[in-house]
Amino acid sequence: MEINKQDALFEFVLRIADDSLILGHRISEWCGHGPILEEDIALTNIALDFVGQATNFYDYAAKVEGKCRTADDLAFLRFEREYKNVLLVEQPNGHFGDTIARQFFFDVFRKLFFEELAKSTDEELAGIAEKSLLETKYHLRHSSEWMIRLGDGTEESHAKIQESVDTLWRYTGELFFSNEVDALLLNEKIGVDIAALKRPWEKQVREILGEATIEIPAHAWQQAGGRTGVHSEHLGYLLTELQYMQRAYPGMEW
């Protein structure tokens, strides 16, 4: 089935917003539970950055869709299969190393992605990307430093972060998912050549993991489905919590 430019743009922006919202909510679960006070505050601020990005992209997605839905409607009033975030961002926080590894893999991708999206001929999309890129550079610096600190730290921290990398590696391939939506928008000079980001992503990841004395997992098998609405069991539980207030009290506003 052919897709038109408006529908493609809506889908494209929705993916970005969903990634931000779901990961932002995941990170927010650390609030009050960080390993040290400074890191508790840092993670909470990063979560706020992602929620802010999600709001901007949802606002634009609602505008593109043109069906009188708001950013809140898109964030809180869709069913699980309607979310298009990658599986990586919905994975549980686990221990601190799991959270950092998940964040690092995503941050490397997001920085490369926003650098390209900032060149979009869609001025509003480019503007949001440029603003988000400033935050993403900090996110990447934060997660990279922790990867090195944990990997090249104690025997226990090294073992745990290596296990985190081994477990989460299977979800990284989906970051480079593309279909007719991406092809159409790339042709219009609106979107991003997702496939072209894979090589620089791998290069940056290998550099940091090498410095952290962490080995790249040998297995090549990759899990996918999130971009097409097929999620792990974790998203359903996350959405139950995330959407509770709007489901219980429809139309509620602060």
What 3-state class would DSSP assign to 214?
A: coil
Give the tens place of pLDDT for each residue, 12-24: 999 999 999 999 9
pLDDT in tens, 75-128: 999 999 999 999 999 999 999 999 999 999 999 999 999 999 999 999 999 999
Contacts with 109 (C-beta within 8 Å, 6 or more apart), sequence order: 175, 197, 201
Domains belonging to the chain, first-starting first, are 5-248 (1.20.1260.10)
pLDDT tens sequence across 192-223? 999 999 999 999 999 999 999 999 998 888 99
Residue with tokens 């400033």: 134
Counting residues of the chain whose pLDDT is more than 70, the rounded percentage is 99
Residues in the chain: 254
Q: What is the mean pLDDT of the chain?
A: 96
Neighbours of 215 (CB within 10 A): 12
Predicted TM-score of the model (pTM): 0.96
Rounded CA separation 89/45 (Å): 17
pLDDT band, very low/low/confident/very high, at 37 (cuts 50, 70, 90): confident
Amino acid at 149: R
pLDDT in tens, 149-161: 999 999 999 999 9
Nearest to 62 by CA among 21, 102, 17: 17
Amino acid 76 reads: F
